[in-house]
Structure 1
Amino acid sequence: MERDLTQGKPLNLLLALSIPQILSAVLQLMYNTVDALIVGNFVGEFALAGVGLSMPIIFLMNSVMLGLGAGVSIIVGQYFGAKEYIDMRKTVGTSIVSLVPLTILISIVAVFATDPILRIINTPPEAFEHASSYMKIYFAGTIFALMYNLYSAVLRALGDARSPLLFLGIAASLNVVFDLLFVVTFKMGTAGAAYATVASQGISSLFCLIYIRKKLPLLALAKDEYKFDSKKFKLILRYGLPSALQMSVISLGNMAIQNLLNSYGVGAVAGFTAGVRIDSFVVMPYMNVGVALANYTGQNMGAGLHDRVREGLKSAYTILLVISILTLPFVWFFTSNLVGVFLDSSSGESISIGVAMLRDLVPLYIFLGMLNNTQGLLRGAGDNMWSLYGSLISIGARIAAAYLLNPIFGIRSIWFGSGIGWIIGYLFVYLRFRSGKWKEKGIQRVPSIELE
């Protein structure tokens, strides 16, 4: 069910959006986490390293799809806030007929590019085949990830964060079953984990489609509405390409860091992979409060309510502070136990690397949260280029710091670089917010949009 975000207290609205969004993200993370948990314990350390180092590459290949999908969400939210429902439906129809063939093309290219990319980033030989099989199967099923992420993004733009959570919960449960079946019972290794993920994503996308057609007539398009509208496609590119570029830059930065990490050997990669699995759960609330703020901002920008947007950022910072107080002490004190879930006791070096990473990052996570929240506001307002610039500066500082500090701190320079990048990126986007120029970026006259 759609929700009007232009009425009511911003804090309550953001909580109502954020909690289902965070739970959805937890379930989304469960796909890769369950893969890593089962692969690490039933296939081995080399297989875990293979799955772990595949993630930056997968994210890079998915960046265009996810970025343009984020653009669609922003446009739909602004149209919904302005009550321009015909244009909203045209945007959804155009997004489907344009993004589906694009995603299929990217999937084909990604499958053939997998092995060359793994060689470029100096993948350890022991992990190469594990990473290759996982990535090729995952890429072949990317269309299912597109459909789920697109449908769920549109639902969230309308203020409905609960339905995607429900569908994802069912699919995540099936993913566990499939993982146990393919990896443990049938001994299919990392390939089995990839098949389990693809099958689960297909199920979640199907549930989203059925729900929209049955329960949301506002979004249930007729056959003749699945057609290409050039103006809407230009608008999708205007809002989505900066997000796609932002995600691509982050992915390329992660691959540069991965190259540095690979030089420390497969044990370091496995330890870092285990640490990143815990890290993903820690940062996920920060990231998804930013997503909720983007949806909130989109509707209020469409309605011209700039003061409510400012109030929304203050409320998002409040939520961020509470999350930090509740979660970070737990991470600090139980780091060894958390990392040990992914690796057996014989992997002592790998466990120590994962523990050191998480404990060094605990005092720095707050800056990541503030960066993501402020970028969420800019994206929701349509000020995507400045959000992109913030990511460019952040990832550039991260890479530079990691390589420059490497002779001094060794492997710890990798996550020290992350913290430095978060701080510098946040300062940049916050100055943009303070300038107030983001107010000029919304859709001003929806019925007669013209793009130069």
Structure 2
Amino acid sequence: MKEKQDLTTGNVSKTLILFALPMLLANLLQSFYSIVDMLVIGRIVGETGLAAISNASMISFIINSICIGVTMGGTVLVAQFKGANDEQGQSETVGTLFTISLIASLIVTILGLLVYQPLFRLLNVPAVSMKDACEYMQIICYGTVFVFGYNAVCSIMKGFGDSKSPLYFIAIATLVNIVLDVILVGSLGMGTKGAAYATIFSQGASLLISIIHLKRNNFIFDFKVRHFAIKREMLIVILKVGLPTAIQMVVVNISYLMITGMLNHFGVAVAAASGVGLKVNTFAGMPCSAIGQAVTAMVGQNMGANHIERVKKTTEIGMYFNIMITLIVILFVQIFARQVIMLFNPVNQEVIEDGILYLRICCGINSLIYAVMYTFDSFAIGIGSANVAMINALLDAVIVRLPVSWLLAFIVNIGFSGVYIGQAVSPLLPAIVGLFYFKSRVWESKRLINHSENEK
């Protein structure tokens, strides 16, 4: 790989920011075309469409979580082999990751098609939104293979230190999605089905273009059928990181799914407002996510190169950047909360007020704590201790978010604002655990690869 993709040398702050910036733009674009779905549906279909996509998006997030989690194992392993200058290890990791991603996508597609209707009934999706939610989810399930394929490619490129290529791929997907949203939802009047088709077609286009790009640039893997093979040693290590990461993300998103179920009890307006609020909050967290991904890749390469002090410095600088940028973002959201919510539904005053309340509670000081938590989770995944991030997800979702939300909303009886408060306090305990693990130094001797054999 090119020298510019080496994350083990140079100024840490500069390297981290330059590596994170393309990922930030990519994350913003990816989140943006998700928001475009909500904008178009909110203005054309109305609150019933917003409630439908709000509920369907929760299941989509779970599918994406499984995909990102599994492929994250490839990012970390490729990064450590890159740091150790082991090209054979890199090649075998890529082939193994692509193969298990294809297999996993088929399994997840089948499971998704089997469970989405029972889940919607369990979540008390408003009756007026049920048909739209089911139609949207069925189409999204059929496009799962594109999500796995795209994320596998991007995770590998990040592990190699290339954050620019994924940006180009997602830029194309965003453009395709916006154009198709306008045509399918607007001109052709296909409603939520049109938004779903726009999403999967844009993801398919992004995957196809990414493969063409890699083949033309003599990528280490040539995409020939005979090279799609699973190497047992690579599979074990990928799953060692990937499965806890997938569990971590699935647990968090299942908790949000259950939170959505709680909010559905309070009517269509609350369901729609909360869905919009979550989208905005997710969008606001994109800088934090990008820096976290950069921390994971840089920590991975430096663990492979046995640069422990650089691992520490990367994590500390990543946390400082995350806190500063998150502070700027939440100030903007708090100042312009009304204008932001009105972008999605400028007419229904109940949706507007409930959406503003969501942002007031869920996109404030708690977001700074989340920035700390996410940085330490990203560090843990990068060194290969994804089980730490998984435990933090359980603390976040199962120990705090769900019990506190339920108690405040239904036992203390303060209504849906209690659910918002439960979400706001959830990152505190995981942030403390992450800090203690980082300071403990027990992680310094951890290795996913045999450094002495791969060192050159």
Superposed pair shares fold, TM > 0.5: yes
Q: What CA deviation, in whole Å up to 9, does each residue of 1:336-390 have, x standing for no partner? A: 0000000132x11111111011122312210011100110000000011111111
Give the structure 1 partner of residue 353 of structure 2: 352
Q: Distance in 1 between matches of 2:170 and 2:63?
A: 22
Q: Which has the higher mean CA deviation after the structures are superposed, 412-421 or 194-203?
A: 412-421
Match of 1:410 among 412, 415, 439: 415
Q: Per-residue deviation at 1:408?
A: 4.8
8 A contact 2:370–2:431 mirrored in 1:
yes
Q: Per-residue deviation at 1:324?
A: 2.9
Q: Distance in 2 between matches of 1:311 and 1:448?
A: 26
Q: What are the residue-to-residue correspondences of 1:114-193 with 2, within 5 Å?
A: 114-193=116-195
Give the structure 1 partner of residue 213 of structure 2: 211
Q: Which has the higher mean CA deviation after the structures are superposed, 238-247 or 210-219?
A: 210-219
Q: Tell me, yes or no, if structure 1 residue 64 matches structure 2 residue 66.
A: yes
8 A contact 2:32–2:283 mirrored in 1:
no
Q: What CA deviation, in whole Å up to 9, does each residue of 1:202-243 have, x standing for no partner? A: 011111111111114334455532212122111211111101
Q: Distance in 2 between matches of 1:381 and 1:167?
A: 27
Q: Distance in 2 between matches of 1:87 and 1:268?
A: 50
Q: Per-residue deviation at 1:334?
A: 0.6
8 A contact 1:107–1:142 mirrored in 2:
yes
AA aligned to 1:231 is: E
8 A contact 2:106–2:145 mirrored in 1:
yes
8 A contact 2:95–2:221 mirrored in 1:
no
AA aligned to 2:349 is: G
AA aligned to 2:345 is: L
Query: How many matched pairs?
Result: 448
Q: Per-residue deviation at 1:31?
A: 2.4
- 2:220 is paired with a residue whose SS is coil
Match of 2:402 among 386, 399, 404: 399
- 1:173 is paired with a residue whose SS is helix
Q: Distance in 2 between matches of 1:144 and 1:408?
A: 43
Q: Distance in 2 between matches of 1:64 and 1:333?
A: 35
Q: Which has the higher mean CA deviation after the structures are superposed, 87-96 or 214-223?
A: 214-223
RMSD, aligned CA = 1.6
Q: Per-residue deviation at 1:448?
A: 6.7
AA aligned to 2:434 is: V
Q: Per-residue deviation at 1:447?
A: 8.2
Q: What are the residue-to-residue correspondences of 1:47-446 with 2, within 5 Å?
A: 47-220=49-222, 223-345=225-347, 347-361=348-362, 362-396=364-398, 397-406=400-409, 407-445=412-450
Q: What CA deviation, in whole Å up to 9, does each residue of 1:87-125 have, x standing for no partner? A: 111111111122202211220221132111111111111
Q: Distance in 1 between matches of 2:222 and 2:12?
A: 29
CA pair 317-65 structure 1, distance change in 2 beyond 3 A: closer
8 A contact 1:343–1:351 mirrored in 2:
yes
AA aligned to 2:230 is: F
CA pair 123-299 structure 1, distance change in 2 beyond 3 A: same
AA aligned to 1:159 is: G
Give the structure 1 partner of residue 38 of structure 2: 36
CA pair 216-437 structure 1, distance change in 2 beyond 3 A: farther
Q: Per-residue deviation at 1:178?
A: 0.3
8 A contact 2:83–2:302 mirrored in 1:
yes
8 A contact 1:68–1:243 mirrored in 2:
yes
Q: Distance in 1 between matches of 2:332 and 2:417?
A: 21
Q: Distance in 1 between matches of 2:442 and 2:218?
A: 35
Q: Per-residue deviation at 1:249?
A: 0.8
CA pair 17-217 structure 1, distance change in 2 beyond 3 A: same
8 A contact 2:252–2:397 mirrored in 1:
yes
CA pair 88-221 structure 1, distance change in 2 beyond 3 A: farther
AA aligned to 1:354 is: G
Q: Per-residue deviation at 1:313?
A: 1.4
AA aligned to 1:36 is: M
CA pair 324-252 structure 1, distance change in 2 beyond 3 A: closer
Q: What CA deviation, in whole Å up to 9, does each residue of 1:314-335 have, x standing for no partner? A: 2112212331343222111110
AA aligned to 1:225 is: H
Q: Which runs of 5+ in 2 are unaligned?
A: none
Q: Distance in 1 between matches of 2:342 and 2:188?
A: 25
Q: Per-residue deviation at 1:76?
A: 0.7
Q: What CA deviation, in whole Å up to 9, does each residue of 1:143-194 have, x standing for no partner? A: 1111111101111111111111012112201111000111111111100000
Q: Distance in 2 between matches of 1:85 and 1:417?
A: 47
Q: Which runs of 5+ in 1 are unaligned?
A: none
CA pair 150-444 structure 1, distance change in 2 beyond 3 A: closer
Q: Distance in 1 between matches of 2:263 and 2:203?
A: 30
Q: What CA deviation, in whole Å up to 9, does each residue of 1:381-408 have, x standing for no partner? A: 0011111111110112111111122225
